[in-house]
Amino acid sequence: MTRQTKDRLISALVWLLCVMPLLLFVWQGFTGGLTANPIEYILRELGLWGLRFLCITLAISPLAKLLKMPVLMRYRRRVGLWAFAYVALHLIMYVAVDQQFGWSFIIEDIVKRPYITIGMAAFVLLVPLAITSANRIRRKMRVRSWRRLHQLIYLIAVMGVVHYLLLVKADIRSPLIYGGIVAVLLGWRLVMRFRVARPRPGSGAPSLDRPARSL
């Protein structure tokens, strides 16, 4: 297999994984898996997939380092854009199907219900990230300001988890799991930053990408 074919294959696989949730809805539509309340089910699932894809996006650079597979970095933008797509579909589902453009109800929700306020704010923050992911725009920006802007993803992921946590009635297990995943992904970055800021060769804490020397 040539390198080019292999790249194409990986790319196709990533693309397939990204659209898989949508294919799943179609499958469930035919097999009755959308439950008796498909609007609510799809609304929730779209939100969950948005959160999952945010987590996957955040996991790509740690994984690329841990697995020594820098090729993964090539797909980070694409996965991130799919996270945006699922969050946007989630919002469209809420506005158009769940609330049927009942703007007074939607505004009331945004003003009165913190989980919707937070969810809506998280979406608003995601928009500039999606826009500036385009190469043409990215090239026009300074590297540092682009990076700083895209660090918003950390805040957005936390807001996504809080949005989910506040919505759940009693069983908070699932949002806590996502909270744990986001905490690990952010914690890993903090640790890395700490290590980069104070490099102490030979005496650093054991790390995964640079194994501690045995004594």
Residue 113 binding other proteins, by CB under 8 A: yes
Q: Does 11 bind other proteins (CB under 8 A)?
A: no
Binding footprint of other proteins, residue count (CB under 8 A)? 21
Which of 139, 144, 169, 198: binder of other proteins (CB under 8 A)?
A: 169
Phi/psi of residue 142, each to 5°? -75, 145
Kindly tell me which of 119 and 179 has the beta carbon lying closer to other proteins: 119
Task: Please report, as a single letter, which amino acid is at residue 18.
Answer: C
Q: Using CB under 8 A, which of 73, 105, 141, 213 touches other proteins?
A: 105
- C-beta of residue 6 within 8 angstroms of C-beta of residue 69: no
Query: Using the rule CB under 8 A, is 136 a contact of other proteins?
Result: no
40 vs 62 by CB, closer to other proteins: 40
Among 111, 170, 196, 197, binds other proteins (CB under 8 A): 170
Shortest CB 106 distance to other proteins, Å: 10
Q: Is 108 in the site for other proteins (CB under 8 A)?
A: yes
Q: Which one of 36-44, 82-90, 125-133, 188-196 is the stretch in contact with other proteins (CB under 8 A)?
A: 36-44
Q: How far is 182 from 126, CA to CA, in rounded Å?
A: 17
109 binds other proteins (CB under 8 A): yes
Q: Using the Cα atoms of residue 38, residue 39, residue 44 and residue 45 in order, give the sign of their dihedral.
A: positive
Between the two ends of the chain, the Cα-to-Cα distance in Å is 43
Q: Is 64 in the site for other proteins (CB under 8 A)?
A: no
User: Which residues touch 197 (CB under 8 Å, ≥6 apart)?
Assistant: none
Query: Distance (Å, rounded) from C-alpha 144 to C-alpha 99?
Result: 40
| Shortest Å distance, C-beta 37 to other proteins | 6
Which parts of 148-167 interact with other proteins (CB under 8 A)? Answer: 166-167
Q: Please count the residues of the chain.
A: 215
Distance of CA 156 to the CA centre of its chain: 8
How many Å apart are CA 77 and CA 153, to the nearest integer?
Answer: 12
Task: Look up residue 110 and give its amino acid.
Answer: I
Q: Which of 211, 212, 177, 208 is nearest to 191 (CA)?
A: 208
CB of 98 to other proteins, least distance (A): 8
Q: Should residue 31 be labelled a site residue for other proteins when binding is judged by CB under 8 A? A: no
Binding stretches for other proteins (CB under 8 A)? 35-37, 39-40, 97, 99-100, 102, 105, 108-109, 112-113, 115, 166-167, 169-171, 173
